[in-house]
Structure 1
Amino acid sequence: MANKKSYLGEFEHLVLLSILHLGDEAYGVTVRRYLKDSIDREVSIGAIYTTVERFEKKGFITSKKGGATAERGGKAKRYFTVTALGVSSLQDTRIRLEKMWCKLPVIAGLGD
């Protein structure tokens, strides 16, 4: 049974998947852009950072600062990496969603 600590909502699921897809290039702006490009979802940068803060507290990701750059006004990028716990949570969420979809009767084109 999933608890609040490991349960992923839709947006959380999407952010973790984006970080995995981006690999070494996963930081706030690229995650935001990836969501826009891949699923056409506009997301504020604040929503991204609120979510990754929560992920770090739960142990789903780690982050590290890159070097400061002049084009960013001397500010460093904060890069994200999904941990084994984060991957496990993604897998658990996927399994639960697939179970729900598989049990759905064929109604209006949904289900098997």
Structure 2
Amino acid sequence: MRYAQGGGLTAERRAFREQIRLDAGEMFAAGSDNAEVAKSLPRLSDELFVKLEAALALGAAAHGWPDERWTLARIRKLIGRMFHKSYTGPGVRLSLGWPSTTRARTSWSLPRDASTG
């Protein structure tokens, strides 16, 4: 799929990427230099993010955890294992597009559809 067609990203991911672009533009307009803007950007490419989504869809147990709950710490560790990149908990939250104000739930499970059991 070509980039102009969304590059295979979900609508939510495309909206998230567009927001990043707009935020970076605002930072440049406010006088931020390249280093400041770069530090604020996510470190996973779209291609790697698609691979991460596929790995998350397999469930936490498939990656060695005793249950199916995904926590920020587990996702952070999975990113490190898969891509040799280091993230903080808030960095994982931002990369996934989760709002930083949502703190009531510290873990989540992907819903299983009928075809995967």
* TM score, norm. by length of structure 1: 0.40
* TM score, norm. by length of structure 2: 0.39
Higher normalized contact order (CA 8 Å, seq sep 6+, divided by chain length): 1
More strand by share: 1
